[in-house]
Structures are given as C-alpha cells and as structure tokens.
Amino acid sequence: MRLGGQIVEFAGWDLPVQYTSIMDEHAAVRTRVGLFDVSHMGQVRIRGGGAEDLVRAVFTNDIKPAAPGKVLYTHMLDEGGRIIDDILFARESADSFFIVPNAATTSKVVRWFEAHSSRGAQVDNLSDAMFCLALQGPRAGETLQKLTRSDLSAMKKMWAIDGEVAGVPCKVQTTGYTGEAGFEVIGPNDKAMHVYEKIMEAGRAFDIRPCGLGARDTLRLEKAFLLSGQDFHGDRTTLETQYDWVIKWDHDFVGRAALEAQRAAGTYERWVGLKALGRGIPRHGYGLFHEGEKVAEVTSGTMSPSLKVGIATAYLPPALAKAGTPLAFEMRGQKVDCEVVKTPFL
C-alpha cells in the first residue's frame, strides 16, 4: 500500500492490479526492470523414495533426463487429457523436486499428487511459508547481482540454484511469465518485505517499477502464455492449447491415452492468436464471428502496449485456425474485424 498499489481480490489473495499504470509498468519490464510480488503462487516439494516416479506419472513433460537444477514447464492432466494446471518444476536432487503450481489450483495439485503416490513419496505443501518475487526485464540480472554472491550470469534459462539474496537463503530460478530475462526469488515468508525492499533499492539505478497483475497479464499475453482459469479451467487438453512441445510421448502419464486418441482424430479445436484490424479491444468472453455466424469466444484479450493494437486468443475449429482467417469480435453491439495470426504476438 505504501507504494500506491491498487489492491484487488485474486484467488483468495489481496493483490495489486497496478501501481503507476499498466502501460508504465509494462514498458518498464520490456525496456528496464520491474518487480512483481507473486507470493500467491504455490510451492510444493515432492521428495523421498518414488518421488521421480510420481512426478513422471502425473506430468506430460519428463524430468528423468534432467540434471539437478533444471527447470521444466509441464501440464498436469486428468484421465481425459484435460489440463488441471500448467506448472514449473525443478529437479533438486535424485529424489527431490520443487513444484510451482498456480495459486487457485495448488490444493487440487497437491491432492492429485497424493492420490497418485503409490511408492511412498512425501508431498509437502510449502505455500503458506514461502514468498515468491518475480524480477523481470533486461536489467533484472544487474539488479539482482548486487544482492547475491552467486554468479547469475552463469545461470542458463530455466535453471534453479539455492543461494542467498540480501542475506536471506533463497531459491533463485531463471523463469518468469513475461517473456523477458528474469528471475523468480523464493524464500521464507518472514523475510519477504526485507528482500522486496532490497531488490527495489538495488533496481533504483535502472528506474525499477513495482508491477501488478495488470502488467503481468499484458506482458504474458503478448507472448501467448496460457492463463490458468481463463484460457483453460479443466475443460481443455494440451493438444488444444497447441502446447504439444510439453508432451514427451516416450513415458507414461495420466491422460496420455486420451491425448493419443485426440491426436489420431485430429478434429480438436486449436488455441490461436487474433489481431484486431479495426478500432477496438477484444476482451475475455467477447463473441467471435465468421461470415456472420458465432464460432467461439475470446479467452484472453487486451490492447497490446508494445504493438498498440488489440490482441486476443480463442479456441477455433481446425478449418478456421489458420493464420489469415478473417473473423470479427463483438464489442458493445458492434462487430470489429480481426484475423488469426501466428503467436507469440511479440
């Protein structure tokens, strides 16, 4: 509140939607550096005998060949191949894995792990005890390096280390939800304010901005990153999202049979990008029309601060999912022309 954040309720948390403005915070992340408090995200550790077997059994991506420190993006599916959650997870050691699920699905994810743990793996939900800060932007590395002895320049993308930030033991991951270079810093809740303030101080030389949910949404949508609870909410499969690259078919996992059947049929809808051709901003829930007939609804939409044009996503039948297909979205009773485009938008 001291920084002027406009607070809203989100997934049971009180979180800032913006501080200065969405445009200003968005620009800061694309050109300099911004700091997000994303402590509402879950933190779960799977450890002990059978931990690797459990993780491989419930995730589409496969951690088996990954070395300690490697972070992967994956989907967790139900038996019908529908996405329960999209998740970042890291191998800590041979029998320990650190999982970051979405806020609203953390409890469900934990229950899913427990329901499928038949080999004695321990499932620890650490969410209430941990903070998570996302430092994002071209100057993120220079900012964070001031606060740690770890050589951040040696870290590859999608990697995790255990170290110290501002004197606090933290897990540092080269991940994020903006498409820019950046880090997620995860540590004990009682040190959250200390670490946050030290990062803001370290970033002052680069004109750092505190950032809220609004900029987080515009940044992720320009990169066509899925939003749990909006682009999928237990009703869509990995194939429909066109995130096929997170499926490793050489291992067995919950939902695999359903995906194989869907892939063989080939008739499933595809999640695609849309760009407005007329004046207007597509929003979640807006109807999409082709030759006068409603064919879908927008799942995510905004005015792209970087491109200065309305962008959106939607699930479309295969015949309409090709780049260049003309459509229109309905905004306040008016039809606004748009077309299917390749993603990411930026």
Q: What is the per-residue pLDDT across 45-76, written as a single tens digit (0 to 9) for each?
A: 999 999 999 999 999 999 999 999 999 999 99
Amino acid letter for position 197? E
Residues 177 and 136 occupy one common structural domain: yes
Total domain count for the chain?
3
Domain membership of residue 303 (yes or no) is yes
Residue 185 near residue 165, CB atoms below 8 Å:
yes
The pLDDT tens digits of the residues spanning 25-44 come to 999 999 999 999 999 999 99
Residues 56 and 37 occupy one common structural domain: no
Cα R_g (the chain), whole angstroms: 20
Domain membership of residue 279 (yes or no) is yes
Residues 89 and 193 occupy one common structural domain: no
Last residue of a domain, one of 79, 94, 125: 125
Residues 51 and 27 occupy one common structural domain: no
Pairing state between β 34-37 and 209-211: parallel
Its domain, for residue 172, covers: 6-41+128-222
Residues 6+ apart with CB under 8 A from 281: 301, 302, 303, 310, 331
Residues 37 and 49 occupy one common structural domain: no
Pairing state between β 13-18 and 6-10: antiparallel
At 338 the pLDDT is 98
Distance CA 299, CA 225 (A): 12
Percent of the chain residues past pLDDT 70, beyond the cut = 99
Domain membership of residue 138 (yes or no) is yes
Band of pLDDT at residue 298, cut at 50, 70 and 90 = very high
pLDDT at 251 over 80: yes
- Using alpha carbons, select from 22, 137, 80 the residue that is nearest to residue 256: 80
Beta strands in the chain (DSSP E): 6-10, 13-18, 34-37, 44-47, 71-77, 83-93, 96-100, 122-125, 130-136, 160-165, 168-173, 182-188, 209-211, 270-276, 287-290, 293-304, 309-316, 326-331, 334-341
Is the bond into 344 cis (omega within 30 degrees of 0)? yes
At 131 the pLDDT is 97
Distance CA 226, CA 55 (A): 21
Last residue of a domain, one of 76, 103, 125: 125
Residues 162 and 263 occupy one common structural domain: no
CATH number, domain containing residue 214? 3.30.1360.120
CATH number, domain containing residue 336? 2.40.30.110
Helices (H), the chain: 22-31, 51-58, 106-116, 140-145, 192-202, 213-222, 238-241, 256-265
pTM for the predicted model, two decimal places: 0.95
Residues 274 and 318 occupy one common structural domain: yes
DSSP conformation letters of 147-160? T-SS-GGGPPSSBE
Residue 29 near residue 98, CB atoms below 8 Å:
no
Q: Which residue matches tokens 């006068």?
A: 292
1: helix, coil or strand?
coil
Residues 35 and 50 occupy one common structural domain: no
pLDDT at 14 over 90: no
Distances (CA, A) of 279 to 74, 310, 339: 37, 8, 13
53: helix, coil or strand?
helix
Domain membership of residue 231 (yes or no) is no
Distance CA 165, CA 150 (A): 9
Last residue of a domain, one of 170, 195, 222: 222
Residues 275 and 292 occupy one common structural domain: yes
